[in-house]
């Protein structure tokens, strides 16, 4: 750095207040900025997706000594109390400020392109874990139905391990409108066809409900199930979807 | 019921204090009682594993009207404030008091019997999710290394969906002693052999470290990896193990 970074000490500072708004879904929607935290995820995101970010926040300039900041990323020093307010996971490591990408609305009357995951998970940690598995196993598009958590919520970012930057995220309609989506349409269900014997189409939509709720009985999706011993009644929802995505990925890869 | 159930109203009641101790690992170890909660898990456990339980706790006798209680399970009514203290997940549904089973120490110098999972997960929710997948995919024995969460902690029970009653649970040594365990010995690692091409032995030990920590470099286990696109650096730990257990289960089943 050739000059000392900007220093912010007041909680009334408009920029600080903007960043603080990124801790809640409402502020994320209104202001379109998100905060990325994490000892592994921050350096990795800065290296692979520098165009996503505009600020790096820290309390001590020594924390970013030796960092090669991309041209568009400005260093900003925060008073410790302000930094702690933004560092909700308590990483003590520099934070990145990024811009929430545009998430266009999908037209579900059009056929799917690749494997599309339609989901309404309302818990940001659950959504983050799902995005991580989706990116790992080659999902092409994520359709966030009404009621889904915000994909750039701090808890979702924390669970997703930078999966947000590898996926195409689209906004979907309310849950009930899924029944009219163009197929092929599938859903996971304990009573469905054993997915280890399933011939996965290249283009398809896989529907996930909210936590603890199955797909409605009148939904026209074909049911697929993960085979188990039956010793427990069901799998954890994130685990079930991850296993399904893996089974498809492994069968396509072979 | 032929007579009104026992009613407990004082937080000083010795039985109540015993049950309250089941909310923490220390009390679970000292007193050997656990509390099961859940709208699905309580009726299911009472039906399939009645011998595990000795009390059913509620605030209003109408809550258990029509329940056929096994001979050894006594109904106990609690004052609402006492019940809420024990019902930490806020189910508002009757709770079961059970006895923590004996968990014998394993001798790791002996060869494995079936698929044994050696694990040190310290977070009870993570351990519970793992137990659920283990039961679903045919793990024969769980070896809890020193530092692992208590498998009957309320959070572990909540995440496991009654998997505890389907598994053989054993106590293991401290983490470092795993290096001397009799094999075949395996561990998951991003750089290992692709497990979709792996020929799973009938008897083997699979090692899981603590959250966020890999297996030590000097551990003699053969490394296996879940194939991914590489779009994220790693999978969620519970997801990775679940996928591995599924891959084995599906290959053995075929």
Contact status of B64 with chain A (Cβ, < 8 Å): no
What is residue B139's three-state secondary structure?
coil
- B-interface mutation test, from A165, A198, A225, A246, most B Cβ less than 10 A away: A246
Q: Are the beta carbons of A234 and B40 closer than 8 angstroms?
A: no
Question: For residue B5, what are its two tokens?
Answer: 């159930």
| Tokens read off for A91 | 């990483």
- Best A243, A244, A245 member to test B by mutation, with max B CBs in 10 Å, is A243
Q: Does B231 touch chain A (CB under 8 A)?
A: yes
Edge-to-edge strand order for the sheet containing B222-225? B168-171, B141-144, B115-119, B204-208, B185-194, B222-225
Q: Is the pLDDT of residue A25 over 80?
A: yes
- Residue B105 per-residue DSSP state: B
Q: Nearest CA of chain A to the CA of B231: how many Å?
A: 6
> Residue B141 — pLDDT band, cuts 50, 70, 90?
very high
Are A231 and B135 within 8 A, CB to CB? yes
Peptide bond preceding B147 in cis form (omega within 30 of 0): no
Level-2 CATH architecture, domain B115-253: 3-Layer(aba) Sandwich (3.40)
Closest CA to B95 of B8, B12, B17, B19: B19
State whether B132 and A247 contact (CB < 8 Å). Answer: no
Domain A6-99 in CATH 3.40.50.300: no
Please report the ipTM that was assigned to this predicted complex.
Answer: 0.90
| List of residues 6+ apart from B35 with CB closer than 8 A | B19, B22, B23, B57, B86, B95, B96, B97, B98, B154, B157
Decide: helix, strand or coil at residue A68. Answer: coil
Q: What is the largest CA-CA distance in chain B?
A: 64
pLDDT digits (tens, 9 = 90+) for B214-224: 777 888 899 99
Of the candidates A17, A250, A12, A33, the residue with the CA atom closest to the CA atom of residue A154: A33
Asked if residue B248 lies in contact with residue B200, where contact means CB atoms within 8 angstroms, the answer is yes
- What are the boundaries of each domain within chain B? 6-99, 115-253
B36-50, B141-155, B187-201: least confidently modelled range = B187-201
B156 at A interface, C-beta within 8 A: no
pLDDT digit string (tens) for B69-96?
A: 999 999 999 999 999 999 999 999 999 9
- CA B6 to chain A, closest CA, distance in angstroms equals 33
Q: Tell which residue, B195, B213, B208, has the closest CA to residue B250.
A: B195
């Amino acid at each position: 750095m050739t000059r000392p970074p900007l220093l912010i000490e007041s909680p009334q500072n408009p920029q600080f207040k903007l960043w603080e708004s990124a801790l809640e879904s409402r502020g994320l929607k209104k202001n379109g900025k998100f905060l990325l935290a994490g000892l592994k995820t921050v350096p990795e995101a800065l290296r692979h997706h520098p165009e996503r970010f505009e600020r790096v926040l820290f309390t001590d300039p020594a924390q970013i000594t030796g960092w090669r900041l991309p041209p568009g990323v400005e260093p900003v020093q925060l008073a410790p109390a302000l930094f702690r307010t933004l560092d909700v996971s308590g990483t003590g490591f520099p934070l990145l400020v990024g811009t929430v990408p545009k998430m266009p609305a999908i037209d579900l009357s059009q056929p799917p392109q690749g494997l599309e995951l339609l989901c309404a998970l309302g818990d940001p940690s659950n959504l983050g874990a799902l995005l991580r598995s989706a990116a790992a196993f080659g999902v092409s598009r994520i359709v966030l139905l009404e009621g889904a958590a915000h994909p750039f919520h701090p808890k979702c970012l924390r669970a997703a391990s930078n999966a947000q930057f590898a996926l195409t995220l689209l906004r979907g309609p309310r849950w009930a409108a899924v029944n009219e989506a163009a197929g092929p349409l599938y859903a996971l269900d304990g009573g469905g066809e054993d997915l280890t014997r399933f011939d996965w189409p290249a283009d398809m939509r896989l529907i996930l409900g909210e936590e603890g709720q199955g797909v409605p009985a009148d939904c026209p999706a074909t049911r697929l199930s993960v085979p188990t011993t039956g010793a427990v009644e069901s799998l954890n929802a994130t685990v079930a979807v991850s296993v399904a995505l893996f089974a498809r990925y492994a069968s396509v890869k072979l």
